[in-house]
Chain A
């Protein structure tokens, strides 16, 4: 079918050189290649979404709506929201790094269902292309939430097409979730007990639960909106007896837990990175592991806090408010345990660690401001203001994307076999941190002063803070552009990476070669130590019962 190159000679077989044709990539069943394919798709949509964000901040640099009309502005924030949420954040860490490292971490040759895995990538790409076509052709101005009855009865533009795109990407997400659930349950290597799993795997398990349990609900809900647009049935149209708030119930039943689809994998990455660069087992391993599950489960009980100022019953609001506060507990458990890990750890200041520290700072601000929004009284004041925008950007960008960048820098050597320039990477992390705070901290103040979101113009007195925000956004943009340059540069000119450049514990570093073998492990490892066993550096995490075949490179920790 495809040419097999570099089978002999000095170069070892790895997942990149085993086959090199385009077809071998497009039809690959290798979880690592699918992870790379996802990474490419995600980068594309991140870039498109960032362009829309740049347009938004450019418009808001001046009080008057002088760059674009309000209609165009509405379309811009819709493009930004739809692409960033559905096509970047939700698949970002699970589908790319989850696919790439999760099977290696648990000692498996692949995920449980490789064909389903590839199918999910195609669903993702087709959905992404359809949504992008819908967003660019004519544009959509509903916002990423597709609130009814506007989206179902009034909005012009290709709303139904965008919904089909989101529907497809939803099923791509469900497939990934099913795959990981089964993989984690059934594909663990002998000796890899639940409490020896790296915390990234626990986080991915919790994420997959949400993907499987929540996503179908938003799929059917958006399908109803599309059917309503096509046939005029009126399920969400108050003029015809429908209830638009029902849409919000069903939408947020998924879309609130979806926030945890975005942040939980990030938390998993942070656990990995902090343990590696503190050379210490994550403090309170069991608490961190179970807090992931707790976040996933409590996350399903809080959706009504998006609806405090709608016609939702205030009695339901009280319950939702109380339950929302509960989410703070597992989040705080994680944060304190990470800090306790760094404390007394031997901290190595490498680039992934800088990103992880940035995550800690920003996520704490994002999480704590969530409490202002969870309490009913302040929420009424802050609803639909820039305070909300700032809050969720602190969690989504400051949290999830920081963790995504940490993951990218952490596993880059394993993915590409190359090192990137550390000092540039640290500079980029710093720029992102500074730029991010400049962009979004003023928005807390603006929101508190009452500036509503989703308007393209605003009164003069908010100019200074908005200008600050736009200026910060340009630093943030450069901070994201910089890695794009040096990472691509490193593909050709970067130093060849060692097998375990960070001195990390874990199967993917200790056992798997720099560029992993197509099957990760030449023989199934037998895991003998828990994750992050930095206290016993002489003990390998896994052993191999029999001598390995000579033709495969890399391999087990000898002796």
Chain B
């Protein structure tokens, strides 16, 4: 454990608050590398966690393309694009917060963390409006789901219980089931993503408080790793949305 003491002494000499070196580590570099790789491993598992959903969505999009396209028209591209914009900007502010933390500019760090929280909150507010509009139109995929809004929105003709989708006709029951699948994926995927945003907001708030106290105490804090790691998480959440937006709101044309 001599090396641990040596490392701490070295950093205290520079008149800054030192990163806490875990007793299992030899050096700060080793610890930082371990955190980085660990965070990436966590992101790898997140990629596959969402990946299972994306794969399922892809299978049904492949099977029920026309129904899915009809259903996706009820989503608002404006809201989706706005949310993409908001999250991309929040990724930028997060990157700036990480930069400030690395340069030990705690006031800037605090400011950009607040901006990130602000944009994340706008994202959640938008989602709230989107969700309540779906609820209003009975598009929540539970027992009371009804495909009426989808049919109405797409001006589809219904004869004898058959929905005319242009290239093929399906029974109203099938159409209801398949569009309901679309909304199931919409809610599960955006819901799980929204949950990640919420968790992100909470962690960002904790980091903001820490940055503010570092700023007030005027003690430079050499440990930028927490901010950098949360940054990785936050950018990953952004990436999930980068894929959700075209797949759910744009569908890639027809």
Which one, A73-81, A217-225, A274-282, A287-295, is touching chain B? A217-225
CA distance A109 to B214 in the complex (A): 31
With CB as the reference atom, state the residue of chain B lying closest to A111.
Answer: B24
B26 beta carbon closer than 8 Å to chain A = yes
- Contact status of A243 and B1, CB under 8 A, knowing A110-B23, A113-B38, A234-B184: no
CA distance A227 to B2 in the complex (A): 53
CA distance A186 to B1 in the complex (A): 17
Of A182, A216, A232, A235, which is within 8 A of B143 by CB? A232
List chain A residues, Cβ under 8 A from B51. Answer: 216-217
Of B24, B48, B184, which is within 8 A of A214 by CB? B48
- Contact status of A114 and B181, CB under 8 A, knowing A217-B48, A231-B141: no
Give chain B interface residues in 164-202, CB to chain A under 8 Å. Answer: 174, 177-178, 180-181, 184-185, 188
Total A residues in contact with B, Cβ cutoff 8 Å: 46
Cross-chain contact A219 with B38 (CB below 8 angstroms): no
Closest 9 CB pairs of A and B: A216-B49, A110-B24, A241-B177, A233-B184, A220-B52, A240-B177, A178-B41, A216-B48, A186-B34
Cross-chain contact A235 with B24 (CB below 8 angstroms): no
CA distance A212 to B38 in the complex (A): 11
Interface residues on B, range: 35 or more
Of B25, B50, B52, which is within 8 A of A221 by CB? B52
B103 beta carbon closer than 8 Å to chain A = no
Looking at the assembled complex, report how far the CB atom of A250 sits from the nearest CB atom of chain B, in whole angstroms.
5
CA distance A246 to B181 in the complex (A): 14
With CB as the reference atom, state the residue of chain B lying closest to A245.
Answer: B59
A465 beta carbon closer than 8 Å to chain B = no
A357 beta carbon closer than 8 Å to chain B = no
B3 beta carbon closer than 8 Å to chain A = yes
A215 beta carbon closer than 8 Å to chain B = yes
- Contact status of A234 and B59, CB under 8 A, knowing A112-B24, A178-B41, A213-B44: no
A181 beta carbon closer than 8 Å to chain B = yes
A284 beta carbon closer than 8 Å to chain B = no
Give chain B interface residues in 17-34, CB to chain A under 8 Å. Answer: 22-26, 30, 33-34
Cross-chain contact A519 with B181 (CB below 8 angstroms): no
Looking at the assembled complex, report how far the CB atom of A404 sits from the nearest CB atom of chain B, in whole angstroms.
25
Cross-chain contact A187 with B48 (CB below 8 angstroms): no
CA distance A250 to B51 in the complex (A): 10
CA distance A174 to B184 in the complex (A): 27
Central interface residue in B23, B38, B55, B142, by most chain A CB within 10 Å = B38
List chain B residues, Cβ under 8 A from A174. Answer: 45
Cross-chain contact B44 with A212 (CB below 8 angstroms): yes
- Contact status of A181 and B37, CB under 8 A, knowing A110-B24, A224-B188: yes
Cross-chain contact A186 with B30 (CB below 8 angstroms): yes
Cross-chain contact A524 with B181 (CB below 8 angstroms): no
CA distance A177 to B38 in the complex (A): 10
CA distance A217 to B64 in the complex (A): 23
Looking at the assembled complex, report how far the CB atom of B230 sits from the nearest CB atom of chain A, in whole angstroms.
16
Of B3, B42, B143, which is within 8 A of A178 by CB? B42
B210 beta carbon closer than 8 Å to chain A = no
Looking at the assembled complex, report how far the CB atom of B131 sits from the nearest CB atom of chain A, in whole angstroms.
14
- Contact status of A213 and B174, CB under 8 A, knowing A234-B180, A243-B63, A246-B59: no
CA distance A523 to B60 in the complex (A): 58
A108 beta carbon closer than 8 Å to chain B = yes
CA distance A217 to B22 in the complex (A): 32
Give chain A interface residues in 170-195, CB to chain B under 8 Å. Answer: 174, 177-179, 181-182, 185-187
Cross-chain contact B181 with A235 (CB below 8 angstroms): yes
Cross-chain contact B23 with A109 (CB below 8 angstroms): yes
Of B25, B41, B55, which is within 8 A of A181 by CB? B41
CA distance A143 to B141 in the complex (A): 28
- Contact status of A182 and B141, CB under 8 A, knowing A216-B46, A241-B178, A250-B56: no
A501 beta carbon closer than 8 Å to chain B = no
Cross-chain contact A240 with B1 (CB below 8 angstroms): no
Of B24, B53, B174, which is within 8 A of A241 by CB? B174
6 contacts between A and B (CB under 8 A): A112-B38, A179-B38, A182-B41, A185-B37, A234-B180, A250-B55
With CB as the reference atom, state the residue of chain B lying closest to A236.
Answer: B56
CA distance A232 to B30 in the complex (A): 49
Cross-chain contact B142 with A232 (CB below 8 angstroms): yes
Looking at the assembled complex, report how far the CB atom of A313 sits from the nearest CB atom of chain B, in whole angstroms.
13
- Contact status of A241 and B34, CB under 8 A, knowing A178-B41, A220-B53, A232-B142: no
A242 beta carbon closer than 8 Å to chain B = yes
Looking at the assembled complex, report how far the CB atom of A99 sits from the nearest CB atom of chain B, in whole angstroms.
13
Give chain A interface residues in 506-525, CB to chain B under 8 Å. Answer: 519, 523-524
